[in-house]
Amino acid sequence: MTAAARVAVIGGGPGGLYAAALLKRLAPEREVTLWERNAPDDTFGFGVVLSDETLGGIESADPEVYAALRREFVRWDDVDVVHRGTALRSGGHGFAALGRRRLLEILHDRCHGLGVRLRFRTEAPPAGELARTHDLVIAADGVHSRTRETHADLFRPALTTHRCRYIWLSADFAFDAFRFEIAETEHGLMQLHGYPYRHDASTVVVEMREEVWRRAGLDRADEDATLEACGKYFADALGGRPLRSNRSAWTAFRTVVNEHWHHGRTVLLGDAAHTAHFSIGSGTKLAVEDALALAQALERHPDVPAALAAYEDERRPAVASTQRAARASLEWFEDLAVHVDQPPRRFAFNLLTRSRRVTHANLRLRDADFVASVEDEAGVPPGTPPMFTPFRLRGLTLRNRVVVSPMDMYSAAGGTPGDFHLVHLGARALGGAGLVMAEMVCVSEQGRITPGCSGMYTPEHERAWRRITGFVHDRAPGTAIGLQLGHAGRKGSTRRMWEGIDQPLPEGNWPLVAPSALPYRAGVNQTPHALSVAGMEAVRDQFVRSAEAAARAGFDLLELHCAHGYLLSGFLSPLTNHRDDAYGGDLAGRLRYPLEVFDAVRAVWPADRPMTVRISATDWADGGTTAQDAVAVARAFAAHGADALDVSTGQVVADERPAFGRSYQTPFADRIRHEAGVPVIAVGAISSWDDVNSLILAGRADLCALGRPHLYDPHWTLHAAAEQEYAGPGVRWPEPYRAGSRRPPTGRGA
């Protein structure tokens, strides 16, 4: 029995057409009808880029369509990045494109040949009406989907409009590479994305921040004036040749995310379900892949609801990954001013790796000479992975760029670190990282997060920490050890993580203090006491005494914890600081107390030893700390003597909405590094040595802190060196471990 014997398709773009063709080909007896409100030859935009992976799926599903596409494709391997008169080319990338109109013609022909009913210049009936007479309704009606909006209560869309304006144009010649060009104009920065789609034609996308677009008068320009202006700004790229339009209009990109892609017999496909910024590829590519996955699901599951559920389960992770990469790329171009002053090769490398999908290792496989030229410009010695270059902070030189992130172990007794901490931190120091950070060490008993948190407020604590630093310095020479000093504030008096994170203790709770009397979670966590000025002075003195003890205990670096909603972070965020005295109000007021604590600690911390500050660069919540606030906070701490900023995010309020993903926090570090001019430590889902190399070489971070990878593998850095066949001064195997410095042979040939 054929699943979905009667199918209605709303929208005659490539995704809708290809879905219609596939479903009819797989079941010729199936009745498939497609509605498109425009004429067959109406199309917007010019070229379409498809990946080899997508083409492979098309070839397998419909060799006839693949053969027709193959005859039309223009292929190229190179990417050109042009900036400030310097043109750099990177090869080995592999692109294929064709004209959008030609793609539609091929799909029209295929649909006609298969017997799909195509109803052009006809508005489709509403999806709800179609669902009463059809087994399946495919809503491929684009980014402005009427189906999605009519049934928003079912699909639950979230639409985000971004900060750049862009326009799709065309030129009557073929670029010989995918071209990115930056124009620095009197109005601001503009960028061109160009690629060939025929032997005699190229797509040209011009993009700029909205304020630049308005200053340039392009918000008031008609079609001819727009073509003339864009042609002038990018005259070199175009060789003086004119640009062409196809009823092109300036628009702001909208990211579309839906909580659900299907309901009943109706399913969203392509831009109706999700969008991804054009700078990493084509919306057409995603729509075609949706069509392939939907057809396969209907083949496997004759029951339509089960097929739609399987389709969504299969496609959602892949689309989410693409959307994360697209957002990273989109935001990189939105924040182009952050990167524009980089040296030309580093700028080009940064651009090429902006989405995190192309990495240092991946790019080296594609074009080793290009990567070598970037490394040479950055001063990386030949044969040295960027992660194994040294970095100096005040009087401390780290032999590599890897930091073991501070990770609370909740395993202290009465605040005293014991054998567990010795083994935990000692093992990671032996593992090769340049800097090993102890967990957040609390300045008082009442400043602990949990009963298992370590402290530095008794002589016994100092002696226990001295044992650990002594082991690191004696048995892992060249590895530095740092201490993160903090006070839990309103997030204290809770259970150990594995007993119920952020849950209050069942008994024995201690009173909490905070900038304002606001519980972390109303009705769950206790309401803290709002600190008086005298109380703030007492806590400041606790930080000072702990810092003095840390210096005597032999720590090489001290970090002040001003992140994650703990006490000092609570002063910085407007969501947690509602004070009406000199320590609240605007950002300068909210900064006052954390800076006073920093100054007092810096005054007693040895002058030759560095101090860093960890901040939450965004609260991931409306009305909270913004990225621009974070830059101002970083500048303030740097002006007071901070040697680096450890840039984390969130954990300030319980109702945060983080945008998780690989290396998701690094853009905040990148921005602070370039705008505040202070070294940064990047953290957050950095999981591979390839990520570290990419971030360091692109200039997005100076150091990279990794937590979970070091829990999985205490010798992560040593193994990264072995896997990259590096044996230079940036890493040192302990003598007892040297015999294991090569990967053990495996298999029958061992």
CA–CA gap between residue 83 and residue 20 (Å, rounded): 44
Nearest to 9 by CA among 1, 305, 388, 21: 21
Q: Is 566 a catalytic site residue?
A: yes
593 and 583 in contact (C-beta within 8 Å)? yes
| Interatomic CA distance for residues 353 and 363, integer angstroms | 8
Angle, helix 459-475 to helix 533-552, in steps of 10 degrees: 40
Q: How many CB atoms lie within 10 A of CB 341?
A: 9
d(C-alpha 72, C-alpha 679), whole Å? 49
Strand partners, 252: 165
Task: Determine the distance from the C-alpha atom of residue 294 to the mean position of all C-alpha atoms in its chain, rounded to a whole number.
Answer: 28
Q: What is the DSSP letter of 504?
A: B
The candidate with the shortest Cα–Cα distance to 452, out of 489, 500, 504, 416, is: 416
- Tokens 């609570």 sit on residue: 570
Query: How far from each other are the two terminal CA atoms of the chain, in whole angstroms?
Result: 54
Closest among 386, 393, 306, 296 to 346, alpha carbons compared: 386
Q: How far is the CA of 588 from the CAs of 513, 534, 591, 603, 625, in angstroms?
A: 21, 20, 5, 21, 13
Give the closest residue to 496 by CA, choosing from 568, 563, 439.
439
Find tokens 């080319």 and name the residue: 89
State the Rg of the chain over Cα: 29
The residue with tokens 């101090």 is: 611
Burial readout 484-500 (b: 16 or more C-beta within 10 A, e: otherwise): bbbbbbbbbbbbbeeee
C-alpha 711/C-alpha 700 separation (Å) is: 25
Helix (H, G, I), strand (E, B) or coil at 351: helix
- CA–CA dist 482, 557 (Å, integer): 4
Distances from the Cα of 744 to the Cαs of 79, 160, 435, in angstroms? 39, 50, 27
Q: Is 115 helix (H, G, I), strand (E, B) or coil?
A: coil
3-class DSSP string for 203-227? EEEEEEEHHHHHHCCCCCCCHHHHH
Catalytic choice (197, 520, 566, 664) = 566
CA atoms within 13 A on the CB side of 376: 6
Q: How far apart are CA 550 and CA 417, in angstroms?
A: 13
Distance CA 245, CA 237 (A): 17
Count of Cβ atoms closer than 10 Å to residue 159 Cβ: 15
Instruction: Look at residues 196, 279, 201, 204 and name the one whose alpha carbon lies nearest to residue 234.
Output: 204
Annotate 612-669 with DSSP letters as a single string: EEEEES--SSTTS--HHHHHHHHHHHHHTT-SEEEEE---SSTT------TTTTHHHH
Catalytic machinery residues:
566
